[in-house]
Amino acid sequence: MDSMSRIPFNKPAPMGNEYAYIHQTMELGHISGDGAFTKKCHALLETELGVSKVLLTSSCTHALEMAALLLDVQPGDEFIVPSFTFVSTANAFVLRSARPVFIDIRPDTLNLDEAQLEDLITTHTRAIVPVHYAGVGCEMDAIMDIAGRYRIPVVEDNAHGLFGKYRGRYLGTFGCLATQSFHETKNFTCGEGGALLINDRALIERAEIIREKGTNRSRFFRGQVDKYTWVDVGSSYLPSDMLAAVLFAQLEAREQIQAQRQRIWRCYYEHLQGWAEANGIRLPVVPAHCDQPYHMFYLLLPSLEQRQDLIAHLRAQDIMSVFHYLPLHLSDMGRHFGGQPGDCPVTEDVSDRLLRLPFYNGLTVDDQERVITAIQEFQVIQG
Ligand SMILES: *Cc1c(COP(=O)(O)O)cnc(C)c1O
């Protein structure tokens, strides 16, 4: 083992055209936001997903912030968010002085437990923010039904789920708004990047304004107004066209990327099934009505101690594995909002036991075999 190289948890993989496209946008002379490649990315995503409007942003975090601005979230408003998610899902709304109401997750998909949703709704609820964990769809039929009855907007945090489907329909097309991430750790990347998907056409014009520093610059470029001016609140949420060039190369290679990730996911699943059963370890659950985009592969160990032991066992063989998320309701900020141990028992339990295995587009067959062999050597001592 000693001559072998480190297997990282994640490694970005250029698909081939990234450098040529960066060169092209430099030659075109428009490397700020909304250049040629940004428009290509918008068109590709709108066509593929069938979304009314897609706007690239500098991150998924920024797309979530735009969503909170678009929904006019105000101090005193509440929003319902899983405790088991990345900080930004909550912070974007907290930035508008809203209060997070944390919902627990289902033990199978680790998505928010729709059965608990209705009880958490109050007259102050301004948004429901489901996260499609690992790109496996939340129970959108139930969530959209409840949201519709109370007329509460749904914002899908689809950072993991681009091209995933729930009952044949693309994730990110259910809520009035949805957000994507193109961070280095996601299926498609330009380093740092994101997108806002707009399904409610009434929100499109204001989204363009908020993204362009609160000006009507987009309308000016379309010749709809003859001067552009300050018309609303806003910030600068556009990525450089050089980043869009990198992203476009990745999105164009989507079939190849998804095929690679599917092979990696299935290989883990097939080779670890027997070991998992023998050791009381749970593998990911993907319901039949969900098409996953193969974002990650995780294990649920029987205990925190065993999870830490497996991390150390893999690290000793230069294999990097990671865990996430620490329950948001028990973080310093979560406690500030009243979070207490026991509020979200499934989240608290899963957070201690979950382990993510190395998973990236360029993970070779040999390296994956090394990971699998190392895991199979690891026996959980029962009792
Ligand atoms: C990665 C991630 C984000 C944040 O994405 P950025 O593009 O890094 O801002 C938000 N939510 C979830 C669920 C994520 O996994």
Query: Which of 88, 93, 347 has the most ligand 1 atoms within 8 A of CB, as the residue to mutate?
Result: 88
Q: Ligand 1 mean position to 192 CA, how many Å?
A: 10
Handedness of CA 12, 17, 21, 24 (dihedral sign): positive
User: What single letter denotes the amino acid at residue 344?
Assistant: C
CB 269 within 8 A of CB 210: no
Closest CA to 181 of 258, 127, 239, 235: 239
- Summarised one tens digit per residue, pLDDT across range 116-145 is 999 999 999 999 999 999 999 999 999 999
Q: Ligand 1 mean position to 181 CA, how many Å?
A: 6
Q: Ligand 1 mean position to 188 CA, how many Å?
A: 13
CA–CA distance, 328 with 94 (Å, rounded to integer): 13
Sheet holding 99-103, edge to edge: 99-103, 78-82, 125-128
Q: 86 CB less than 6 Å from ligand 1?
A: yes
Q: 183 CB less than 6 Å from ligand 1?
A: yes
- Summarised one tens digit per residue, pLDDT across range 109-120 is 999 999 999 999
Q: 161 CB less than 6 Å from ligand 1?
A: no
Per-residue pLDDT band at 3 (split at 50, 70, 90): low
Helix (H, G, I), strand (E, B) or coil at 308: helix
* For the chain, domain boundaries: 18-104+111-252, 254-376
Q: Ligand 1 mean position to 144 CA, how many Å?
A: 22
Nearest atom in ligand 1 to the alpha carbon of residue 183 is 7
- Summarised one tens digit per residue, pLDDT across range 58-115 is 999 999 999 999 999 999 999 999 999 999 999 999 999 999 999 999 999 999 999 9
CB within 8 A of 46, min separation 6: which ones? 52, 53, 54
Quote the distance between the C-alpha of residue 20 and its chain's center.
Answer: 28
Nearest CA to ligand 1 atom 2: 159
* CATH no. of 18-104+111-252: 3.40.640.10
- Summarised one tens digit per residue, pLDDT across range 253-286 is 999 999 999 999 999 999 999 999 999 999 999 9
Nearest CA to ligand 1 atom 14: 159
Q: 111 CB less than 6 Å from ligand 1?
A: no
CB 155 within 8 A of CB 67: yes
Nearest CA to ligand 1 atom 6: 60
CB 290 within 8 A of CB 164: yes
Q: Ligand 1 mean position to 60 CA, how many Å?
A: 5
* 322 burial via Cβ count (<10 Å: 0-12, 13-18, 19+): middle
Nearest atom in ligand 1 to the alpha carbon of residue 133 is 13
* CATH no. of 254-376: 3.90.1150.10
Q: 140 CB less than 6 Å from ligand 1?
A: no
CB 327 within 8 A of CB 295: no
